[in-house]
Amino acid sequence: MKNIAIEVERLHKRIGKNVKKLREGKKLTQLDLALAIGQKSTTIISQAELGTNKHFNIEQLYKISKVLGCDITDFFN
């Protein structure tokens, strides 16, 4: 189970890095993206991009993909 936990942690970090890369490619700030997906602050965006204890859920990833004009699977590659 420990290996799975490590893999999940790596996956969360990969998703965060990919969201950041795509967000920056669209020249959006963390606040722009947060507001566009219905968040009131940048907390979830900043912490999830850094891969800290906060992670995006499926609904957030779906909304982010729509805002960034990409496929949700782009976050996992």
Query: Which tens digit of pLDDT belongs to each residue from 6-53?
Result: 999 999 999 999 999 999 999 999 999 999 999 999 999 999 999 887
For domain 2-75, is the CATH number 1.10.260.40? yes
Regarding pTM above 0.85, the answer is yes
Sign of the C-alpha dihedral, residues 46, 49, 54, 56? positive
Q: Yes or no: say if 56 and 19 are a contact pair by the CB < 8 Å rule.
A: yes
Q: Which residue has the tokens 């499926």?
A: 58
Q: What is the pLDDT of residue 2?
A: 80
Sign of the C-alpha dihedral, residues 31, 51, 20, 61? negative
